[in-house]
Structure 1
């Protein structure tokens, strides 16, 4: 792996970095905590969503920790908030942090003053802590452990870390509150007496390893890598060890694979693991038993990654599909009857797959994670549509409110439902759906989400919410749910 490109620094900038290093490296909070470095583990714990998309925000949150809890900044808070140094507003922080000429509006601040912290790049902030000798190793370790492309990460590090809008910085404070690193007091924020242990606990440092060697046993077992849900990953890693010699934390997963199929699934995973260690991962030919088609199909795909989703383990493959529609498919591992590695020079490769290989544009796991983050559903290759739901109020308060379903799953007002139906419903279905909406109570709870139409996991969730959850839009999904209810009624009532 090549070394990262270092940005030229003027003598004034070097002086600024030297001063900032003494500030950031003295992060201690009230309890005198040891210096906090931007380790990949900490950055991932600060990430909401996919690190490849939100890596700079995670770095900025790390800098926030230094600004809020560093020993050198105690005098700053005492001057900014006399009498209550642990309580501050965004405006107070802004006026003390940026130079006097820093814009106070909603626009992205231009490069107005080299002395203003908004001019410093992400690279500069990290360099001030890890030093020039450790910068290359830090970049390599982040790329290795968090799955970021080296060139992309180097490019992002050259962006100004605090050269963002007021709304983005205010959102940082909101995230710090959600992470338990800050407390909200009305329109102000209050520093903690002591930072949580997951921030301050020592993190084992390891030199970056050659990618061709494959992941270490520690990396393969790490909850941070295994669990796509980073909140759960942090919890699992924290409590995976026995407490006083007794295991107290357990994870139960629904796993529908039969005992006689377990060896077959493990063989497939091991074969894929061996292929993924090769410098150039080859395509594979699968003999796949499709439940939908009730037949076996041969498919040539590029194996991207594996996911456990609700009941089983799936291989996300790019290439041929059992239905011969589209270029992506989630292959259930216990339905793979045979797996054979192929050569990129094989003449039977699909043209579009070989073209991707020649153009060096083969897909990576983060593309899949980004798709699943943007739209609700595991079958990320299915079309996205707007979903509008109604929940009976009492059911909503007990089981839906204050829960996370997906980034796009958000509560909306009764009046907003009309607007969304008019905007998204098919013209010949619009009035029918509006009539249904008008007949429903404004006191109920209404939600919207972007979902993958046809995704079985979303459909099963909607079924589980019946009869207290109702699909209002789209019409095709509503009619499908209605047909199922009618069929169920026939079974139970004859």
Structure 2
């Protein structure tokens, strides 16, 4: 008998699984929570059903319907079409996956709490997180191993953890933003600065709202009554498919891990040279990530094959 995973899909737990980036990784966070339910929760207990050391192939035989396509070459749309079993987990929406676990809370209440957590960004509870390619689910298992929920051997096999070794969620505390030590002018200036950059980090929106609540109760805000109402709102959207967005998130996490290493590092990938119409392998030094035209891009330094000088590459 294995110990039971009993965490509900609260905004705090999902954000914890997303490493504080729930707005960018909502689908992945839902998948991770569901996978943990299957590994350690009732009634599945995959930890007891799977071999002690298992591969992704072992896992998918238990996890997906027998009618779920197994080819790694299929696209997301092909998988959605080719799986004929309406009870397969790839057919279940976010709403269907969480509705029992959040009872007696309604799905609307849960959705609103998630939206508040990520700064007002709209989530799509009708989308199907597991209607994706096998590579994405493989990466989810790697992610669980990185978080400490699974152990991964050098041979690429996984092993379930005993409950005493499970990662522990952070203690949820009510956040309080104390601006009593700031002058009225400083408070107002801080608010305007945060408003201008909150679109790059949705969680900052919570700070902005807290500041707005506090300053509207103060009587000494400079020229408060003459300040214009908020009329500029920014909503970030992505042009990439859910599948490609998950891949981009994986790349971003790997690059961020690289930046956190004291010695840094370089990365290698395939690059298409339009002028010669050929694909080559290129090694670059990653400099920064930026968001433009509804997608994330990597700015890096390298040398174009055969030519000197820096090159700007993107995913």
Q: Into which bin does the TM-score normalised by the smaller protein fall?
A: 0.5 to 0.7
Aligned match for 2:157, one of 177, 182, 188: 188
Q: CA deviation at 1:148?
A: 3.5
- CA deviation vs aligned residue, 1:210-232 (integer Å, no higher than 9, x gap): xxxxxxxx32369xxxxxxxxxx
Report if the CA contact (8 A) 2:15-2:22 is conserved.
Answer: yes
1:164 has 2:132 as partner:
yes
| Unaligned 5+ runs, structure 2 | 200-220, 238-244, 246-254, 276-282, 291-300
In structure 2, how many angstroms separate the alpha carbons of the residues matched to 1:267 and 1:423?
55
| 1:332-411 correspondence to structure 2 within 5 Å | 340-341=223-224, 342-344=226-228, 357=231, 362-363=233-234, 403-405=258-260, 411=266
What aligned pairs does 1:457-476 form with structure 2 within 5 A after superposition?
472=302
SS across alignment from 1:190: strand
2:57 corresponds in structure 1 to 91
Which residue is 2:25 aligned to?
54
Q: Is the 8 A contact 2:259 2:265 kept in 1?
A: no
In structure 2, relative to structure 1, the CA distance for the partners of 1:412 and 1:146 (3 Å cut) is closer
Distance 1:148 1:167, change over 3 A: farther
Give the equivalent residue in structure 1 for 2:41. Answer: 70
Count of aligned positions:
243
Q: Is the 8 A contact 2:5 2:41 kept in 1?
A: no
Aligned to 1:211: none
Hey, what's the Cα distance between the residues in 2 that align with 1:102 and 1:113? 7
Query: Equivalent residues in 2 for 1:306-345 (5 A)?
Result: 340-341=223-224, 342-344=226-228
1:188-215 Cα offsets, whole Å, 9 max, x none, are 111111253524x7757xxxxxxxxxxx
Q: Residue 37 of structure 1: CA displacement?
A: 0.5
How big is the shift at 1:54? 1.2
SS of residue in 2 equivalent to 1:50: coil
| Alignment partner of 1:103 out of 69, 76, 79 | 69
Closer, same or farther: CA 412–157 of 1 in aligned 2, 3 Å: same
Structure 1 distance, partners of 2:56, 2:40, is 16
Once residues 309 and 13 of structure 2 are traced to their aligned partners in structure 1, the CA distance between those partners, rounded to angstroms, is 44
Aligned-partner SS, 1:198: coil
Write the distance in 1 (CA, Å) between the matches of 2:19 and 2:274. Answer: 30
**8 Å contact from structure 2 (residues 64, 88) kept in 1:** yes
Distance 1:157 1:183 in 2: 31
Partner Cα distance (1:303, 1:401) in 2: 25
Distance 2:75 2:166 in 1: 34
Structure 1 residue 401 displacement after superposition: 12
CA distance in 1, matches of 2:91, 2:286: 39
Task: Kindly indicate whether residue 285 of structure 2 is the aligned counterpart of residue 447 of structure 1.
Answer: yes
Tell whether the 8 Å contact from 1:40 to 1:141 is kept in structure 2 after alignment: yes
2:248 maps to what in 1? none
Is the 1:107–1:166 contact (alpha carbons within 8 Å) kept by the matching residues of 2?
A: no
RMSD: 4.4
Of the two, which has the highest radius of gyration? 1
Q: 1:114 to 1:401 in 2, by over 3 A?
A: closer
Quote the residue 1:128 is aligned against. Answer: 100
- Match for residue 116 of structure 2? 144
Q: How many Å apart are 1:174 and its aligned residue?
A: 1.2
TM-score by length of 1: 0.41
Q: Any idea what SS the aligned residue of 1:303 has?
A: helix
Q: CA deviation at 1:38?
A: 1.0
Residue in 2 that maps onto 1:271: 188
TM-score, with structure 2 as normaliser: 0.61
Deviation at 1:167, TM superposition (A): 1.0
1:145 Cα deviation (Å)?
A: 2.4
Deviation at 1:143, TM superposition (A): 1.7
In structure 1, runs of 5+ residues without a counterpart are 1-28, 205-217, 223-262, 277-283, 285-300, 308-337, 346-353, 368-373, 375-399, 425-444, 453-470, 479-494
Cα separation, 1, equivalents of 2:194 and 2:151:
47
* Higher normalized helix content (fraction of residues): 1
Give the corresponding residue for 1:115: 87
